[in-house]
Amino acid sequence: MRRYPYTLLFLACLVGLLAGCSNEQRLARGKPLRNLNPNQVLEAFEANQIPWEWLGMKIDASVETASGVDSFKASIRMAKDSAIWVSLSPALGVEVARLLLEPDSVRLISKIPGNRFHFAGDYAALSAWADTPLSFRDIQDILTGRPMGIDPEFDKFNCRIDGYSYALISKYKRRIKRLVGVDNNALEPQDSLGIQATDRRYERVRNRTEDSDLLVKRHWFDGLTFDPLQDRFDDLYYQRSLTIERKDFSDRDEGRWPNEIRLAVTTPEGNLNMEWELMRIRFGRAYDFPFEIPDNYERRTGF
């Protein structure tokens, strides 16, 4: 029994190796990628992941909203599945905010002159600011370049070949077909998903459906390296979408890692775009997460 985990790891690596070699030969001959099922794609992806427990990195980032563009640098420390600590600084290098995320709590200190405060709460306020649901695990996946929101035990996908990539498209219920006019077996990777039903039908379906049942997920993986290139979430309940793109993957001693990530949220009320470039990264060092609140800072219930 003790050897089973090593056997599974070996098989996962073997799947990735064989799929990659086979596809490289096929593409060289002008043929499409070989057909794989969703589990094979996910196993090949996992075989290339860095098994980190502690992580520190510095990024150069920008956020664009209707009010303008803000650029900043961030120092990030992470203990896997336990804590995410972020220090934000503008170009001059003076810290303006500090954030501490744990699985069940969100804490923020704003040090901006004229707007000094601290916040302690849950992920509802953070989700409201981003206008999309976010959990600790979601943010950890975004920062570490993993496809967000995949649950192999519950998610069911169709696998499509999309050029040089594999696209995993979530299977959805009949009520979504009624709204978008296409069955999940006929949905192509690059198809846009808009409401095709009348307003009356849309409201009727929405009133009878949980919001999670009207979510369509798509994930793209490179056909050779199985890098997670893009996630797209179409939320038909609230008519919003979230897209995460990862670029410029590099080979490190520990494994492959994306150097550029872009996140875009589109809603009826407006859009939010965020992108960052990795400047430095370090694995394996145990960090502390300093978070002291000055006595004269007021407490707020939102950002």
Q: Mean pLDDT for each consecutive 10-residue tract of the chain (303 residues)?
A: 46 49 67 88 91 95 90 96 95 87 95 90 85 89 93 89 95 88 88 88 88 92 96 93 95 89 92 94 95 89 73
The answer on 241 and 154 residing in a single domain is yes
Q: What is the pLDDT of residue 277?
A: 97
| pTM of full prediction above 0.95 | no
The answer on 132 and 165 residing in a single domain is no
Q: What is the pLDDT of residue 27?
A: 65
Q: What is the pLDDT of residue 1?
A: 41
The answer on 123 and 258 residing in a single domain is no
Counting every residue, how long is the chain?
303
Q: What is the pLDDT of residue 281?
A: 95
Range of the domain at 82: 54-60+69-142+285-300
The answer on 152 and 106 residing in a single domain is no
Please state the domain count of the chain: 2
The answer on 136 and 196 residing in a single domain is no
The answer on 46 and 12 residing in a single domain is yes
The answer on 100 and 17 residing in a single domain is no
Q: What is the pLDDT of residue 66?
A: 87
The answer on 268 and 122 residing in a single domain is no
The answer on 198 and 122 residing in a single domain is no
The answer on 106 and 216 residing in a single domain is no
CA dihedral of residues 208, 201, 231, 130 (deg, nearest 10): -70
The answer on 149 and 27 residing in a single domain is yes
The answer on 93 and 197 residing in a single domain is no
